[in-house]
Amino acid sequence: MNNNAHFPSMTLNQRNLRRIICFFFCALSKLTAQFYLPNDVDYGSPSDYGLAFDEVHFTSADGTSLYAWHVKAKGEKRGMIIHFHGNAANISANVFSVSWLAEQGFDLFMFDYRGYGKSEGAPTQEGVFQDCKAALAEATRLNGGVGNLILYGQSLGAANAIALAGELKGNGFVGVIAEAPFYSYTSIAKTKVNAIAGALVEAMISDEHSPYFVVADIAPTPLLITHGKADRVIPYTHSKRLFAEAGQPKELWLVEDAGHMHFFTEERAAWREQLVAVMGEWLAQPPSSRDNSR
């Protein structure tokens, strides 16, 4: 009997297994990369919308140099909004979606994560989260305190804003606006792959700094979650799950025909008015009622 008779078959199976594993690891690596799609294209600036602004350079915890705009409010300043943008492009591609807030009396602190725009480095989950913490610190410094700061994130930025707000136990700002957030990194990744690849997602993608871990810790600082039911990038069910786990006070706004990050577009003036009204209520709360220390 030839003891080596089955070896070629076993070797072939092993090679096929290696190919399959390599395929899925490559596929999931590409999927992970889709969380961050930076570029340094200049899409415009606040001046295109008649807004004054200052360029800001600051550093993250590991020394990475970051870039931001401090956009000045038109008329009397009511507060400052820290804007956490989505996963693609850079701050210059997002001016059109938030410039209207400056016209309503809010300063804007718009910053780029590492690797985006004029910020140095390359994006990673931990690095981007540390950039968000550094942005809050820099915005607080520029604002002269924390009495009228509001966090506003869109898409990936909404997830970042919730994660940051929860880690800080809701302290340092008067409210959080999360537009089209995802529940967790693994849950959104699983919607982009087939069932077989989905089984490997949890092994490949970290859920550290995912919103669901800490969304309940934002309370009693107010949380507003908004999402379009026609969103094909991040299903609105992610927002419903986060809302269910958040503490009071909280609000969930859903619009039937709104796509991804299309909630506060120009044609939805009524929603813009409601948002400004809600932020006004947050700012009207006495400072003593904003102490979330516990």
Question: How far apart are alpha carbons 4 and 213 in whole angstroms?
Answer: 53
- Predicted local confidence at residue 240, as pLDDT: 99
Q: Which residues pair with 250 in a beta bridge?
A: 223
Strands 65-71 and 106-111, bridge-based pairing? antiparallel
For residue 168, what are its two tokens? Answer: 């800080």
Asked whether the predicted pLDDT for residue 254 surpasses 90, the reply is yes
- Coil, helix or strand at residue 172: coil
Q: Which of 1-5, 58-62, 102-106 has the lowest mean pLDDT?
A: 1-5
**Residue that has been written with the tokens 């707000």 in this structure:** 165
Q: Does residue 123 have a cis bond before it (omega within 30 degrees)?
A: no
Q: Is the pLDDT of residue 212 over 60?
A: yes
User: Nearest to residue 161, comparing CAs of 173, 153, 171?
Assistant: 153
- On whether the CB atoms of residues 152 and 100 are closer than 8 A, the answer is no
Which of 188 and 205 is assigned the larger pLDDT?
188
Q: What is the pLDDT of residues 275-294, one digit of tens each?
A: 999 999 999 986 655 555 54
pLDDT tens for each residue of 67-80: 999 999 999 999 99
Q: What is the mean pLDDT of the chain?
A: 89
Q: Is 53 helix (H, G, I), strand (E, B) or coil?
A: strand
Rounded to 5°, the CA angle 246-252-254 comes to 145
Confidence of residue 189 (pLDDT cuts 50, 70, 90): confident
Tell me how far apart the 2 most distant CA atoms of the chain are, in Å: 93
Per-residue pLDDT tens for 17-53?
A: 666 556 555 555 556 667 899 999 999 999 999 999 9
Q: Which of 212, 266, 244, 282 is nearest to 101 (CA)?
A: 266
* 3-class DSSP assignment, residue 36: coil
Examine the pLDDT at 7 and tell me if it is beyond 50: no
Which is more confidently placed, 98 or 261?
98
Q: What is the pLDDT of residues 222-240, one digit of tens each?
A: 999 999 999 999 999 999 9
pLDDT of amino acid 204: 75
How does residue 180 score in pLDDT terms, banded at 50, 70 and 90?
A: very high
The token pair that represents 47 in the structure block: 């001046």
Which comes out higher in pLDDT, residue 184 or 287? 184
What pLDDT, on the 0 to 100 scale, is given for residue 21?
Answer: 56
Give percent above pLDDT 90 in the chain.
Answer: 74
What architecture (CATH level 2) is domain 10-285? 3-Layer(aba) Sandwich (3.40)
The more confident residue out of 271 and 197 is 271
Residue 135 reports pLDDT greater than 60: yes
Beta bridge partners of 68: 56, 111
Sequence spans of domains, the chain: 10-285
Which sign, positive or negative, has the C-alpha torsion 137, 84, 166, 185? negative
In angstroms, rounded to a whole number, what is the distance separating the alpha carbons of residues 120 and 115?
Answer: 5
Burial class (CB in 10 A: 0-12, 13-18, 19+), 26: exposed
Specify the pLDDT at position 1: 47
